[in-house]
Amino acid sequence: MLEYQLVAPENFSSEQNLFIQKFKKTIALFSFRTQFIFGAKDIESRHLIATDAYAKIVGLSHGAEVGGKFDDEMPCEGTVQFAAAFVESDIALFDGRNIYKKVSKLCVHEYADGLKARLFDKYPLKHHASQSILGLIYTAQEINISQFLALVPNYLTEFGMGCELEGVHRHLVLGDVTLTDYEHEICFLLTLNWSNQQIADFLNQHRPAAHIRGPERIDKYRERICRKLKLTLRGDDDLRACLIHMGVHKKIPKLFFSRLVGPLKMRPPLL
């Protein structure tokens, strides 16, 4: 794989500047003709441009007003509250300079248009001619918040009225340990402070098996997970605390993520 370089705006060549200007015109066209939430940032997480639809959810009127601002400079208090988390996911996208990488985040918080659940997908903004990454492209779509609350009804109670969850597309890696999808699902539900019986009932509904699960089976997996993560714990609360410390509550398993997202609407083509 060719290695692409990260390039900051102050170091753009004339060709790269021209590319960005053309890209801004493309977004302006989408803004005029559609209601897509669509935009771009530079590698320092400063917005380059956005559609009017994005501007409105952060408390602005027009996409052009977004350009030049960081997330913590938006009028929307919810956006400011999660600005650091947004930047963290931007940095994660650039890690490894993989031009095919994608980061998906389910952001549930107060926007300028109220409490919403929105799925943000982020992709590198590539300039192939110079083998450079000039920033990132983001798109967003609204998810029915009732679906989120139906799936994990106590998430906001446990972790507050706003959250940013990453959709894990592959296996979850914690340090040097890779969890199976099933282990990840159990760990995620443990962070919600669910009992073995609640977890068994949930998985029987959403991941049916040949034999109905009981709490004993979940308990065996808890022990297996502890051994795998090399944890010596004094009680159930210790495991939950360790998993939260590792950020598992912010990493939503593939199966649950697909239940939340469901069939998505058409997205704008990416350059």
Q: How far is CA 49 from CA 10, 22, 24, in A?
A: 16, 11, 6
Beta bridge partners of 163: 108
Cα–Cα distance between 105 and 166 in angstroms, integer?
4
Beta bridge partners of 133: 6, 126
Amino acid at 27: I
pLDDT at 266: 47
| Cβ atoms < 10 Å from Cβ of 175 | 8
Question: Are the C-beta atoms of 173 and 241 separated by less than 8 Å?
Answer: no
Share of the chain above pLDDT 70, in %: 94
* 145: number of Cβ within 10 Å: 16
Q: Highest mean pLDDT: which of 56-60, 79-83, 93-97?
A: 56-60
pTM for this one? 0.84
Q: Residue 14's pLDDT band (boundaries 50, 70, 90)? A: very high
Structural domains of the chain in order of their starting residue, each with its CATH number: 5-167 (3.30.450.20), 173-252 (1.10.10.10)
Give residue 121's pLDDT: 93
For 172-225, the three-class secondary structure string (H helix, E strand, C coil) is CEECCEECCHHHHHHHHHHHCCCCHHHHHHHHHHHCCCCCCCCHHHHHHHHHHH
Q: Summarize pLDDT for 145-179 with one digit per residue, the tens.
A: 888 888 889 998 898 777 788 888 888 999 899 99
Question: For residue 214, what pLDDT band results from cuts at 50, 70 and 90?
Answer: very high
List the Cα angle 57/266/53 in 5-degree steps: 20
